[in-house]
Amino acid sequence: MHHWQTGGDEMEFVEAIQKAGVVGAGGAGFPTHIKQNAAAEYLIINAAECEPLIETDKYLCRTFADRIVETVEKMAAHLKAGHRVIALKAKYKQEIKALKEAIDRQKAGVEIFEMGTYYPAGDEQIMVEQVTGRVVPERGLPLNVGCVVENVGTVLAIADALEDKPVTDKYLSVTGAVKEPVMCLAPLGTPIEDVLRQAELLVKDYAVILGGPMMGKLKKDREAVREAVVTKTTGNLLVLPSDHYLMKRGTMSVERMMRQAASACIQCRACTDLCPRQLIGHNVEPHRVMRNIWRQESVTDAAKFERIFGSAANCSSCGTCEMFSCPMGLSPRKMNDYAKALLRERGIQPEKNQEPVKSTALGHRRIPTERLIARLDLTPYVSHGLPKLYEVTPKEVFVPLSQHIGKPAVPVAAVGDEVKRGDLIAEAAEGLSANIHTGFEGVVKEITPQGIRIGRREA
Ligand code: SF4
Ligand code: SF4
């Protein structure tokens, strides 16, 4: 097997990433080999920790600064990117110091871009605008304006891939109602209950959000918590009392939200005026969706439907409108999500504005993270300590076949097979997909349409 080196064959770079099963570690899990199969002016590394109460990006920057900088240079050489920028919040002093020292040591041409503490600083389109002044087209990609944005965790996965090491484990933080936040390193497929055991939980009756409080996935009941496992995109477990405000908000039915929209929306437009995507010039008008959603069934004309609800297609589901802006506590984001699904059902694809013009109010309408935290009733859970790392050793793992955007991977291991760390257990399907390897050594016990269960060898 060969190792990729700077100046090596370009395809080899992409192939190494593809082979290792690297997917975006910070977002929805877009297969990285496709994103890296490009040339760009800017390579922007996202270390802004978009959502409150997540520790992972910061931990990685403090711990692996040299490896990050070194890999950013290799990625930039591959992308032919003249600008290489690591973007993180200015208040991450220690992390900035560690990265700057690494840059100096390596005499690397990497810049640090310091961002304000606002939400959603880590939204890649907001980041592109901040770093370059350019605006990504509606439903477009950073590449449309010459940028490739990768999360800092993805950079480290690429570093491994270039040394022939596949993605087998994930770093993630455990925060919220815990004595001290902790960092964990867990094999893919580790039950989140095993991860939670590394932290001292302060509540008995708890629920968990996979990810951050704004966009994370809610696991409210015991069964949902028991079934959840660590995947390539799990960056944080936020533990909260099961009667916390966020749990109540997260479990409301669509019907109820719709009734509330019809009866309580005062059409103040705060949802629209403070929408981060609307501020960079995209057509997003949640107030219009809120005003009309109750009568969606009666709008049978496609053009009219698009006029009223089409802007929902440009919503990033960041949650600013419903978790911060709306004075009535309504759910414009969820209603936008609902409208998006209706657009899909009716086969309506609203036109995309290729040259959005950002608002002059952009700079004054940012949501300070501290105020957001207070609004979300999370202030008691803010911690300033540096979390310690624990390695999680589960008894068994259940490795999902779909940990990425695109088609699920196809199992190549069979029940009864002995597997060791780093073995390929499921191969990328044709088209958009990604390979999956195991970080757990043992015997394949079960294969379902959802994933592969691996347990310990019998003694
Ligand atoms: S969730 Fe709300 S604030 Fe965020 S992009 Fe969508 S409409 Fe805008
Ligand atoms: S902010 Fe709330 S009340 Fe105001 S228009 Fe939007 S949904 Fe309606």
Token reading at 18: 């593809």
Residue 154 lies in a domain: yes
Q: Which residues pair with 424 in a beta bridge?
A: 437
Cα dihedral 119/123/129/135 (nearest 10): -130
Sign of the Cα pseudo-torsion (446, 452, 453, 454, in order): positive
**Same-domain pairing of 280 and 350:** yes
Q: Give the residue from 144, 161, 178 where a domain finishes.
A: 161
Residue 90's nearest CA partner among 111, 105, 72, 112 is 112
Residue 249 lies in a domain: no
Q: To 10 degrees, what angle do helices 56-63 and 152-161 make?
A: 50
Q: Give the residue from 141, 161, 181 where a domain finishes.
A: 161
Token reading at 32: 């990285």
Q: What is the pLDDT of residue 437?
A: 98
Residue 209's nearest CA partner among 194, 198, 224, 197 is 224
**Same-domain pairing of 215 and 267:** no
Residue 35 lies in a domain: yes
Q: What is the pLDDT of residue 459?
A: 67
**Same-domain pairing of 176 and 193:** yes
Q: What is the pLDDT of residue 18?
A: 97
262 Cβ inside 6 Å of ligand 2: no
455 three-class SS: strand
Q: Give the residue from 117, 145, 161 where a domain finishes.
A: 161
**Same-domain pairing of 311 and 454:** no
Q: Please give the distance, rounded to the nearest whole angstrom, from the Cα atom of residue 275 to the centre of ligand 2.
A: 12
Long-range contact set of residues 411-419: C-beta below 8 Å, sequence gap at least 24: 411/447, 411/452, 413/444, 413/447, 413/452, 414/444, 414/447, 415/444, 415/445, 415/446, 415/447, 416/443, 416/444, 417/443, 417/444, 418/442, 418/443, 418/457, 419/443, 419/444, 419/454
**Same-domain pairing of 58 and 153:** yes
Closest-lying ligand 1 atom to the alpha carbon of residue 317: 1
Q: What is the pLDDT of residue 4?
A: 46
**Same-domain pairing of 92 and 55:** yes
**For residue 207, what are the domain limits?**
168-244+377-394
**Same-domain pairing of 75 and 104:** yes
**Same-domain pairing of 146 and 27:** yes
Residue 338 lies in a domain: yes
**What is the best residue among 126, 290, 291, 333 to mutate for testing ligand 1's pocket, by most ligand atoms within 8 Å of CB?**
333
Q: Please give the distance, rounded to the nearest whole angstrom, from the Cα atom of residue 12 to the centre of ligand 2.
A: 51
Cβ–Cβ under 8 Å, residues 272 and 335: no
Residue 313's nearest CA partner among 285, 273, 276 is 285
CA distance 232 to 100: 28
- Considering its fold, how many domains does the chain have in total? 4
**Same-domain pairing of 124 and 19:** yes
Residue 4 lies in a domain: no
Give residue for tokens 């994103």: 35
Q: To 10 degrees, what angle do helices 302-309 and 332-345 make?
A: 160
130 Cβ inside 6 Å of ligand 1: no
Q: Which residue lies with its CA nearest to atom 4 of ligand 2? A: 268
Q: Please give the distance, rounded to the nearest whole angstrom, from the Cα atom of residue 276 to the centre of ligand 1.
A: 7
Q: Which ligand is nearest to the CA of 285?
A: 1
Q: Where are the beta strands (DSSP E) in 309-438?
A: 367-368, 389-391, 397-400, 410-411, 418-419, 424-427, 436-437
Residue 3 lies in a domain: no
**Same-domain pairing of 69 and 182:** no
pTM: 0.95
CA distance 434 to 401: 9
Residue 91 lies in a domain: yes
Q: What is the CATH number of the domain that holds 443?
A: 2.40.50.100
Q: Please give the distance, rounded to the nearest whole angstrom, from the Cα atom of residue 259 to the centre of ligand 2.
A: 14
Q: Please give the distance, rounded to the nearest whole angstrom, from the Cα atom of residue 131 to the centre of ligand 1.
A: 21
Q: Please give the distance, rounded to the nearest whole angstrom, from the Cα atom of residue 63 to the centre of ligand 1.
A: 34
**Same-domain pairing of 388 and 346:** no
Cα dihedral 406/410/413/419 (nearest 10): -10
**What is the best residue among 317, 324, 366, 372 to mutate for testing ligand 1's pocket, by most ligand atoms within 8 Å of CB?**
317
pLDDT tens for the chain, residues 1 to 459:
444 444 456 779 999 999 999 999 987 899 999 999 999 999 999 999 889 999 999 999 999 999 999 999 999 999 999 999 999 999 999 999 999 999 999 999 999 999 999 999 999 999 999 999 999 999 999 999 999 999 999 999 999 999 999 999 999 999 999 999 999 999 999 999 999 999 999 999 999 999 999 999 999 989 999 999 999 999 999 999 999 999 988 888 999 999 999 999 999 999 999 999 999 999 999 999 999 999 999 999 999 999 999 999 999 999 999 999 999 999 999 999 999 999 999 999 999 999 999 999 998 899 999 999 999 999 999 998 899 999 999 999 999 999 999 999 999 999 999 999 999 999 999 999 999 999 999 999 999 999 999 999 876
Q: What is the pLDDT of residue 363?
A: 87
**Same-domain pairing of 17 and 69:** yes
Closest-lying ligand 1 atom to the alpha carbon of residue 286: 7
232 Cβ inside 6 Å of ligand 2: no
Residue 295 lies in a domain: yes
The helix (run of H) or strand (run of E) holding residue 94 is: helix 93-106
